[in-house]
Amino acid sequence: MAGRIEGKVALVSGGASGLGEAIVRRFAQEGAIIYSGDVNAQQGGPVAAEAGATFLSLDVAREDHWQAAVARIENEHGRLDILVNNAGILGTGPLEHIDVAAWDRLFSINVTGVMLGCKHGSLLMQRNPGGAIGSIINMSSNAAILATAADCGYSATKGAVKLMTQSIAVNFARRGLAIRCNSIHPGPIDTPIFAPWRPDAEKAERLEGQLLEMIPMGRLGRPEEIANMALYLASDESSFSTGAQFVVDGGGTSAVPGM
Ligand SMILES: NC(=O)c1ccc[n+]([C@@H]2O[C@H](COP(=O)([O-])OP(=O)(O)OC[C@H]3O[C@@H](n4cnc5c(N)ncnc54)[C@H](O)[C@@H]3O)[C@@H](O)[C@H]2O)c1
């Protein structure tokens, strides 16, 4: 079935790589008009061009960037139907080694970035011709459900995204706005987010072993499997879902490890 989001206008943050790239490509197959925002223009430009999307230079931590992105979309299409707040980075490591500048940067991207996207994206959705309507999809993590002991910062940011999503969803629903807001909670997915571990082959193998142990299905997820969930939430098929958590993790959060 093609055309599940035909003609809808979508903005995807972090669209240059990994899950965001897969979402841009999947949305393009289903007929959306797509803007892909990222700090990495070198990679994001060609990915967007190949998918027939428009690349925007967007640092999600900067409100002026969101304002410019949304203004451009409003100028060119007069509406926004789908926003995927996907850009995010890994955390700062164990508690005793946390550097405050790195912690602040993590929160500015993973939490403030999502809030700013919701704020400016939903303001345009409220101006959509015909009335307020739209779907906001925030990329959280299974780390918002089960804590990762080695990275309290990442868990904290993804937990914040989960509850921010719920709060925004309830606020819109109670005001009678047809703007839905849901979070996706992927388990470990094979993307470049793990690239910093790869040069140390021994460490990478150990970490991959730990990740696989968490997953009853016995494999890492594929970016397309998250893109398919984003597509469902972007489409009208999910019209009664808001404020909800959509876990895509090969059974990881259902299992007691090893039992
Ligand atoms: N890969 C996984 O296993 C996994 C699991 C759970 C959740 N997630 C979440 O999914 C999202 C995407 O992760 P990924 O695995 O595709 O990572 P990735 O590193 O492949 O892609 C992240 C993208 O975000 C962009 N980005 C980083 N900082 C930005 C900023 N300030 N403004 C705009 N763009 C910025 C990067 O340039 C990159 O293109 C993240 O929020 C991540 O926390 C990933």
pLDDT tens track for 192-209 = 988 877 788 888 888 888
Q: What is the pLDDT of residue 117?
A: 99
CA of 134 to the centre of ligand 1 (A): 23
* Residue 177 identity: L
Q: What is the pLDDT of residue 1?
A: 61
Name the more confident of 209 and 179. Answer: 179
Cα–Cα distance, 194 to 103 (Å, whole number): 19
Quick check: CB of 30 below 6 Å from ligand 1? Answer: no
Give me 226's structure tokens. Answer: 């998250």
Ligand 1 atom nearest to 140, measured from its CA:
7
Quick check: CB of 81 below 6 Å from ligand 1? Answer: no
* Residue 48 identity: A
- Mapped onto helix, strand or coil, the DSSP state of residue 219 is coil
User: pLDDT tens-digit profile of 214-249?
Assistant: 899 999 999 999 999 999 999 999 999 999 999 999
**211 pLDDT above the threshold of 90:** no
Is position 232 annotated as part of the catalytic site? no
Q: What is the pLDDT of residue 148?
A: 85
Torsion of CA 203, 41, 17, 13, to 10 degrees: 120
Cα–Cα distance, 179 to 120 (Å, whole number): 13
Work out the number of other CB atoms within 10 angstroms of the CB of residue 37. Answer: 27
Q: What is the pLDDT of residue 28?
A: 98
| Predicted TM-score (pTM) above 0.75 | yes
Cα–Cα distance, 250 to 221 (Å, whole number): 7
Backbone region of residue 243 per phi and psi (left: phi > 0; alpha: psi in -120 to 50; beta: other values): left
User: pLDDT tens-digit profile of 105-136?
Assistant: 999 999 999 999 999 999 999 999 999 999 99
CA of 17 to the centre of ligand 1 (A): 7
Give the pLDDT band of residue 99 (cuts 50, 70, 90).
Answer: very high
Ligand 1 atom nearest to 44, measured from its CA:
39
Share of the chain above pLDDT 90, in %: 86
Residue 13 dihedral angles phi and psi, to the nearest 5°: -90, 150
**171 pLDDT above the threshold of 90:** yes
Ligand 1 atom nearest to 110, measured from its CA:
41
Quick check: CB of 193 below 6 Å from ligand 1? Answer: yes
Q: What is the pLDDT of residue 246?
A: 98
Of 27, 66, 107, 154, which one is the catalytic site residue? 154
CA of 130 to the centre of ligand 1 (A): 33
Cα–Cα distance, 156 to 169 (Å, whole number): 20
The C-alpha angle 185, 206, 203, rounded to 5 degrees, equals 105
User: pLDDT tens-digit profile of 52-97?
Assistant: 999 999 999 999 999 999 999 999 999 999 999 999 999 988 999 9
> The domain 9-250: what is its CATH number?
3.40.50.720
Cα–Cα distance, 235 to 10 (Å, whole number): 11
Q: What is the pLDDT of residue 170?
A: 98
**37 pLDDT above the threshold of 90:** yes
Quick check: CB of 117 below 6 Å from ligand 1? Answer: no
Distance of CA 11 to the CA centre of its chain: 11
Q: Domain ranges in the chain?
A: 9-250
Quick check: CB of 141 below 6 Å from ligand 1? Answer: yes
